[in-house]
Amino acid sequence: MERPKIKIELEPIDKIIEWLGVLGLLLLIGLPLYYFDQLPETIPRHFGADGKPDAFSGKEIIWTLPVIGFAMYAGLFWLNRYPHIFNYPQKVSQQNAKRLYTVGKRMIRTLNTLITGLFAYITYSTIQVGLGNQSGLGSWFLPVFLILTLGTTAYFLFRLMKRD
C-alpha cells in the first residue's frame, strides 16, 4: 500500500522555526560579505575538538561554510515538502499519517535551523579569530553542538515512535 500524500499546514511554531532558519541563512551569507575586506590573508580553516584553530588557509576559505550551508538548507527545505518519502519508525497509515508527517517535517525543519545557526556561528567565530578578537570556537562548542543535534534528533524520534 502506498503512503498517503497529504498537505500539512504550518503551525505558528513551524513558522517561527522557519524564520529563525532564514535568519541563520542570512547571517551565514551576510557575515562574510560584510567582513571579507577586513580579513587578513590567512584565517582558520579548521578547529580542533578543543575549539582552537589547528589549520589555516587563505581568506577565501570563509565562503566554504556559506556555500555548503546554503546548499544543505535548500536541500532540506525541498525535502521537507515530501514527508511521505521519509523513513518512519512505524508503518504509516491513513490514521497516523498526519501526526507522523507533522512531527517528521518539524524534525527536519528544526535540524535545518539548528545546523544553519551552528554554521553561522562557526563562520562568525572564524572571522573573529581572523581579526584577532577571539581565540577559537570555545571549549563548550563541541558538547553544545552534540547535545543540540543529537538531543533534538532523539526527542523527535521518541515522538515518532509513540503509537496512536
Digit-coded pLDDT (tens) for 117-162: 999 999 999 999 999 999 999 999 999 999 999 999 999 999 999 8
Q: Note the pLDDT of residue 79.
A: 96
Q: How confident is the model at residue 39 (pLDDT cuts 50, 70, 90)?
A: very high
pLDDT at 55 over 70: yes
Query: What grid cell was written down for 53?
Result: 584553530
What is d(CA 115, CA 77) in angstroms, rounded to the nearest whole number? 13
Q: Is residue 143 part of a domain?
A: yes
Does a structural domain hold residue 5?
no
- pLDDT tier, 1 (very low <50, low <70, confident <90, very high otherwise): low
Residue with cell 553561522: 120
Position 142 in a domain: yes
Write down the pLDDT at residue 162: 85
Give a yes or no: residue 100 inside a domain: yes
Assigned domain for 59 exists: yes
Which phi-psi region, left, alpha or beta, contains residue 163 (left: φ > 0; alpha: ψ -120 to 50)?
Answer: beta
Structural domain contains residue 1 = no
- The per-residue pLDDT for range 70-106, each reduced to its tens digit, is 999 999 999 999 999 999 999 999 999 999 999 999 9
Predicted pLDDT of residue 38: 97
Q: At what angle do helices 12-35 and 97-130 cross, to 10 degrees?
A: 20
Instruction: Return the exposure string of 42-61: e unless at least 16 CB atoms fall within 10 Å of the residue's CB, then b.
Output: ebbbebeeebebeeeeebeb
| Cα distance between residue 93 and residue 21, in whole Å | 31
Does residue 163 carry a pLDDT above 90? Answer: no
Provide the domain count of the chain: 1
Q: Please indicate, yes or no, if residue 2 is contained in any of the structural domains.
A: no
Determine, yes or no, domain membership for 3: no
Which letter, b or e, does each residue of 122-144 get, where b requires 16 or more Cβ atoms within 10 Å of its Cβ?
Answer: bbbbbbbbbeeeeebbeeebeee
- Which is more confident, 11 or 1? 11
Whether residue 164 has pLDDT greater than 70: no
Please tell me the distance from the alpha carbon of residue 69 to that of residue 54, in angstroms, as a whole number.
22
pLDDT at position 149: 96
Q: Domain of residue 32: give its range.
A: 12-36+47-161
pLDDT value at residue 2: 86
Report how far residue 32's alpha carbon sits from residue 39's, in angstroms, rounded to the nearest whole number. Answer: 9
